[in-house]
Amino acid sequence: MISPAVNAAYDVESLRAEFPVLGEQVHGKSLVYFDNAATTQKPKQVIEAVDHYYRAYNSNVHRGAHMLSSLATEAQENAREALRAHINARRAHEVVFTAGTTASLNMAAGSLGQLLLKPGDEVLVTAMEHHANIVPWQFACERHGAKLKVVPITGEGELDLPVIPGLPRNPGLFTDQPGQAPNPGLFTDRTKILAIAHVSNTLGTINPVKELVAEAKRRGIATVVDGAQAIAHLPVDVQDLGCDLYAFSGHKMYAPTGIGVLYGREELLEQMPPWSGGGEMIDRVTFERTTYAGLPFKFEAGTPHIAGIIGLGAAVNWIESRGKEAMAAHEEALLEHATETLSAIDGLRIIGTAAKKVGVVSFVVEGVHHSDLGTLLDQQGIAVRTGHHCTQPLMQCFNITGTTRASFAPYNTIGEVDAMVAATRRAVNMLR
Amino acid sequence: MTTPIAQIQQELVDEFAMFQDWQDRYEHLIGMAKGLQTIDPSRKLDDNLVRGCQSRVWLHGEKVDGKVCFTADSDALITKGIVALLVRVYSGHTPQEILGASSEFIDRIGLRQHLSPNRANGLSAMIDQMKHYALAFSA
Ligand SMILES: Cc1ncc(COP(=O)(O)O)c(C=O)c1O
């Protein structure tokens, strides 16, 4: 019997009590929510902050000459400051509010593409990117006549890189002379932008972003990091990472949907052209010429998702009160236990076995279709995601059509992992 | 004499009403999947894929003696069970009978509330595709 390495001091029950939805039943069974990489549940502190805003001081920001507007504006800017501190940005105006990671990456690709890309230039992404960090770059490449290049991955689901100690693969990656097998130098003198996931949503792999960014920076390449899956699970320090832009979504860090962030290094944001036009983002408008507002408002056209921003600020405060490290250690114990117990199922193969992972376990079972498994797990009260997880190119690398993915959060328990494993065994028996 | 569509639908509703829990219901569907008259491998073409399903579902219709005969397959077993159930209902009837048949038996079986939203969409897409064949053959 495997005895899971759970820290006795970690009070998962008191943490669960803060998430009202965890008390729900599905198909007559207690909910086991393992779809946290898609969206996390919300603690009552976040729900109450949003509720309180609508009940007590709903108003537009930066516009009204009245008390409620000042309160709403203050709450929005407090949230911005909380986010600044959380990711250790130098200035609060480096935190731009967007609708989410997808919106952030579209803005990054659109605006940075316009600033940097010329015909024949190259944008480098990786084989494990979410479609949200592929398609906007395809748009930008098409618009400016640039080319998309891809960093390959290994069978374990790690980036195939030479710079990582102990992984002396593909010395060609960092050469300026293309043509070396198997992967000709991916960074060339035409590479203008590197866009990379901090953590893979399908595999859980934690990428060596800091090292890659340092290498890119040395070559004058702009760096964009998709932090959607990192922000709730890893300490994120944008100054330490050194990246130019960092994108994430509120809803994957216990906050509402429809709100997210694009962090940008001040000097770069100043140079980047605005991406959408409208109210709030201007300084002066005439029909002949418009001048833009300063940061961050240049990138925040229109009325923002004020309730979402306030909820996001509350989520950051909640994370900090609970401690990201303690929660991450708990998730790691869940991951370890799930990996061991799932692996014991006959014919089950884990997709994504990188040395450094967050609490995501994707797997396939021989002779069993992931959608059948997902259906039968749901019947047993267990919520997972099945399919390609918006990473179709990655599925092609592994030559599979999809996986079943369980992704963990601080409120999950070892007992729930055991329930999932038992339910998986039962489902597999029915399906084979 | 072929059994009218409404009667087959009622038989299915009665069959599923016997099951107490989800496991029996799904085991029955899986059993139906295993009994499906599958599509000829040469017809497993992308053109015969039903759009709107998470797993791949192939459906082919043919007119034989004035009646539409369906064969199908899927790479997922439960999906195959669902398409088998629909083939049992709609195959072997005239285009007019198929076009005139209601699909509310799905709700009476209690299947829809046990299907995820994308499976429920997939099920509707399969019925649409069958009616589409019937319409084409009625011309
Ligand atoms: C790695 C990654 N990037 C981007 C996204 C897109 O995030 P959103 O849908 O919140 O815009 C996701 C969400 O699944 C993700 O996991």
- Write out the H or E segment, with its range, that includes residue A291: strand A290-292
Instruction: Return the pLDDT at A4.
Output: 58
Instruction: Return the pLDDT at A178.
Output: 41
Report pLDDT digits (tens) over A53-90: 999 999 999 877 899 999 999 999 999 999 999 999 99
CA–CA distance, B106 with B4 (Å, rounded to integer): 17
Pocket test for ligand 1, best of A36, A104, A126, A130 (most atoms within 8 A of CB): A130
Residues A278 and A398 in one domain: no
* Sheet with strand A360-365: strands edge to edge: A348-351, A360-365, A403-407, A385-387
CA–CA distance, A350 with A343 (Å, rounded to integer): 7
Between residues A165 and A304, which one has the greater pLDDT? A304
Pocket test for ligand 1, best of A249, A254, A261 (most atoms within 8 A of CB): A249
Q: How confident is the model at residue B4 (pLDDT cuts 50, 70, 90)?
A: very high
Average pLDDT for A8-23: 94
Between residues B85 and A180, which one has the greater pLDDT? B85
Place of tokens 């979504």: A249
CB A283 within 8 A of CB A232: no
Residues A279 and A427 in one domain: no
Q: Which fold has domain B5-138?
A: Sufe protein. Chain: A (3.90.1010)
Residues A283 and A238 in one domain: yes
> Does residue A1 surpass a pLDDT of 80?
no
Asked if B54 and A376 come within 8 Å (Cβ–Cβ), the reply is: no
Residues A275 and A158 in one domain: yes
Separation of A201 CA from ligand 1 center, angstroms? 8
Instruction: Return the pLDDT at A165.
Output: 44
User: Which residues does residue B60 pair with via DSSP β-bridges, in sequence order?
Assistant: B71
The mean of the pLDDT values for chain B is 91
Instruction: Return the pLDDT at A339.
Output: 98
> Can the peptide bond before residue A274 be classed as cis, meaning omega within 30 degrees of 0?
no
Average pLDDT for A192-221: 95
> Does residue A430 surpass a pLDDT of 70?
yes
Q: How confident is the model at residue B53 (pLDDT cuts 50, 70, 90)?
A: confident
A214 — phi, psi (to 5°)? -60, -45
Q: Which among B54, B77, B114 has the least Cβ separation from residue A379?
A: B114
ipTM of the complex: 0.88
Instruction: Return the amino acid letter for A85.
Output: A
- Write out the H or E segment, with its range, that includes residue A26: strand A25-26
- Token digits of residue A280: 């709030």
Residues A119 and A221 in one domain: yes
Residue A7 CA neighbour count, 13 Å, CB half:
14
Average pLDDT for B65-79: 94
Q: Is residue A232 part of a domain?
A: yes
Report pLDDT digits (tens) over A365-376: 999 999 999 999
Instruction: Return the pLDDT at A162.
Output: 61
- Token digits of residue A203: 């595999």
Asked if A369 and B55 come within 8 Å (Cβ–Cβ), the reply is: yes
Q: Is residue A45 part of a domain?
A: no
Q: Is residue A379 part of a domain?
A: yes
Separation of B129 CA from ligand 1 center, angstroms? 33
CA–CA distance, A300 with A275 (Å, rounded to integer): 9
Q: What is the CATH number of the domain that holds A263?
A: 3.40.640.10
**Is B120 at the interface with chain A, CB within 8 A?**
no
Instruction: Return the pLDDT at A180.
Output: 39
**Is A170 at the interface with chain B, CB within 8 A?**
no
CB B71 within 8 A of CB B87: yes
CB A361 within 8 A of CB A205: no
Parent domain of A401? 4-30+323-431
Instruction: Return the pLDDT at A5.
Output: 61
Q: Is residue A348 part of a domain?
A: yes
Average pLDDT for A362-366: 98
For residue B26, the distance in angstroms to the closest alpha carbon of chain A comes to: 8
Sequence-distant (6+) residues with CB within 8 A of B102 are: B6
Question: pTM here?
Answer: 0.92
Average pLDDT for A101-114: 98
Average pLDDT for B82-97: 96
- Token digits of residue A290: 């418009």
Instruction: Return the pLDDT at B139.
Output: 78
Of A299, A125, A136, which is closest to residue A225 (Cα–Cα)? Answer: A125
> Does residue A333 surpass a pLDDT of 60?
yes
The mean of the pLDDT values for chain A is 92
Residue B35 CA neighbour count, 13 Å, CB half:
12
Q: How confident is the model at residue B112 (pLDDT cuts 50, 70, 90)?
A: confident
- Token digits of residue B76: 């997922």
For residue B78, CA distances in Å to A34, A162, A375, A427 come to 22, 45, 8, 11
> Does residue A267 surpass a pLDDT of 80?
yes
Q: Quick one: closest CA in A to B122, which residue?
A: A371
Residues of B within 8 A of A430 (CB-CB) are 23, 26-27, 30
> Does residue A413 surpass a pLDDT of 80?
yes
CB A409 within 8 A of CB A40: yes
Instruction: Return the amino acid letter for A97.
Output: F
Average pLDDT for B44-69: 91
Percent of chain A having pLDDT more than 70? 93
Sequence-distant (6+) residues with CB within 8 A of B78 are: A371, A372, A375, A376, B26, B29, B30, B33, B119
Residues A17 and A113 in one domain: no
Instruction: Return the pLDDT at A100.
Output: 98
User: Among A51-60, A166-175, A287-296, B82-91, where is mean pLDDT lowest?
Assistant: A166-175
> Does residue A43 surpass a pLDDT of 80?
yes
Name the A residues in 349-378 with CB < 8 Å from any B CB. 368-369, 371-372, 374-376, 378
Residues A20 and A65 in one domain: no
Total domains in chain A come to 2
Average pLDDT for A385-405: 95
Instruction: Specify the DSSP class assigned to residue A130.
Output: -
Helix, strand, or coil here: B60?
A: strand
CA–CA distance, A103 with A101 (Å, rounded to integer): 5
Residues A175 and A294 in one domain: yes
Residues A314 and A176 in one domain: yes
Residues A161 and A271 in one domain: yes
Q: Is residue A170 part of a domain?
A: yes
Name the B residues in 18-47 with CB < 8 Å from any A CB. 22-23, 26-27, 30
Instruction: Return the pLDDT at A171.
Output: 42
For residue B54, the distance in angstroms to the closest alpha carbon of chain A comes to: 7
CA–CA distance, A188 with A215 (Å, rounded to integer): 12
Q: Is residue A280 part of a domain?
A: yes
Give the residue from A273, A294, A321 where a domain finishes. A321
Residues in chain B: 139
A390 is an active site residue:
yes
Average pLDDT for A359-364: 98
Residues A103 and A187 in one domain: yes
Percent of chain A having pLDDT more than 90? 87
- Token digits of residue A191: 């590479």
Separation of A226 CA from ligand 1 center, angstroms? 8
Residues A214 and A362 in one domain: no
Instruction: Return the amino acid letter for A171.
Output: P
